[in-house]
Structure 1
Amino acid sequence: AIAQLQSINHSTQIFFWTFDVTMAREEMNKYFDEVMVHMDYIDVLINGATLCDERNIDATINTNLTGMMNTVATVLPYMDRKMGGSGGLIVNVTSVIGLDPSPVFCAYSASKFGVIGFTRSLADPLYYTQNGVAVMAVCCGPTKVFVDRELKAFLEYGQTFADRLRRAPCQSTAVCGQNIVNAIERSENGQIWIADKGGLELVSLHWYWHMTDQFISYMQSNDDED
């Protein structure tokens, strides 16, 4: 795979390291210190690790959510313009059941909802206007590498559905991967995209409770009372 990538542009250096997203933050710091010996800066961080194991909730949450957040927190200082970085883009690969709930894969769905919440929070202008790091997410629909695995439902009532999902039509990893690239090329800070059934769709986001607006309203009400 490295040789194939290298053939696209022979003047570009390509490195490969194994990385465990569930490692402790201290280990992550050491890991990226070593990585940066070979890199001048980081342009793009893509968080793509995922696990759907409804019988191991801790591992599912640690891989999909906690590990992703720790990775972002570790890499951000290398990208932050105010800390000597060049800005850049963070892409969080998540799932369509991070937008709408799944009665079958409850733990997995909850972890992917968390990815969406983290993405939207980190993309707030409060951060972006200062660090120059855009954040976006791509929600993938059923994809072959995922449904080819043995899938266990959170509760036995949903196992029949989980078994049927393995036989349902799904997109290939190549098509999904290309649409992730397409989303990156078209995306703006804070956007959420759906890559499903070979297509790409921008999610229309709705605010039910916007913290900045609520804070401004709170401050104005205090001023009126004074």
Structure 2
Amino acid sequence: MENVELLKKLKVLNTGIHVSFAQMNIVDHASIERAVKNIVSIAGHVDVLINGVGALADKDVETTIAVNLTGLINTTLMLMPWMDKTQYGKGGMVVNIASVYGLEPGPAFSVYSAAKHGVVGFTRSMADGHLFSKTGVAFMCICPGLTSTELMMNKRDMDWMKWIPHTDEIWNTVIDAKMQTPEDCAVNMVTIMEQWKNGGMYICSMGGVKEIVPPVHWQM
């Protein structure tokens, strides 16, 4: 369903742009395909894709992986032909939103952490220099720190997220920790995107940005 109020605000910010919504179920392959067809029928090609969907529900392992990882991968691969300069696109940028728990362990939500580690791995692999030279599509990964989203702030719902035994103390530490605002994270994300660095990986936390350079453990 379209967010009418948000549409009004966006039109006031920039009267020269057209904003459309395409409804999509990130865990449904056919739904993603329909949304992609809708988008490219309007835009012709895609310049920027931001994969920002996330779910924290470790008790439902399949859904947690599907929303946070496989849905992101399917969306990206379905849109790539309309970004790839050798096909229907003009090159572009894919920004995948992972998490600091995609870089470090998340013992209170190990399934979520595993999925976000997968996002980091997918992004780094797609940012391969050979692929970039062919497609013209840059891949970047942003790993937000703790952020005061509705999900994190609703403590009453935490019980159904818990799955790993003996993690209550860890959960309490997470919930009581100081968090950045979504707005601060978004501003930093725009700054990062303006750098247009293929393979760039960044932590956005508490109003700051830190570039991450993963160590090389093995080479073929």
TM-score (norm 1): 0.89
Aligned-pair distance for 1:79? 0.5
Aligned-pair distance for 1:162? 0.8
Q: Residues 22-69 of structure 1: CA distance to partner in whole angstroms, max 9, x if unpaired?
A: 111x44223211222211321100000001111111110000000000
Aligned-pair distance for 1:76? 0.4
Q: Does 1:90 align with 2:98?
A: no
Q: Does 1:23 align with 2:66?
A: no
Structure 1: tracts of 5 or more residues without a match: 215-226
SS at match of 2:49: strand
Q: Which amino acid aligns with 1:60?
A: T
Q: Residues 109-131 of structure 1: CA distance to partner in whole angstroms, max 9, x if unpaired?
A: 00000000000000001211000
Q: Which residue of 1 aligns with 2:3?
A: none
Q: Which residue of 1 aligns with 2:126?
A: 122
Determine what percentage of the aligned residue pairs are the same residue.
Answer: 30
Contact 1:106–1:154 under 8 Å retained in 2: no
Contact 2:23–2:35 under 8 Å retained in 1: no
Aligned length: 210
Out of 131-140 and 143-152, give the one that drifted further.
Answer: 143-152
Tell me the distance in 1 between the aligned counterparts of 2:33 and 2:125.
23
Structure index of larger Rg: 1
Tell me the distance in 1 between the aligned counterparts of 2:41 and 2:22.
13
Contact 1:107–1:154 under 8 Å retained in 2: no
Which of the residues 52, 64, 71 maps onto 1:67?
71
Q: Which residue of 2 aligns with 1:147?
A: 152
SS at match of 2:16: coil
Tell me the distance in 1 between the aligned counterparts of 2:40 and 2:213.
37
Tell me the distance in 1 between the aligned counterparts of 2:54 and 2:122.
16
Tell me the distance in 2 between the aligned counterparts of 1:42 and 1:136.
16
Once the two structures are superposed, the pairs formed by residues 1-226 of structure 1 within 5 Å of their partners are: 1-24=6-29, 26-145=30-149, 146-149=151-154, 150-151=157-158, 152-210=161-219, 214=220
Tell me the distance in 2 between the aligned counterparts of 1:40 and 1:30.
15
Contact 1:95–1:139 under 8 Å retained in 2: yes
Contact 2:138–2:196 under 8 Å retained in 1: no
SS at match of 1:4: helix
Q: Which amino acid aligns with 1:19?
A: M
Q: Which amino acid aligns with 1:4?
A: K
Aligned-pair distance for 1:2? 1.2
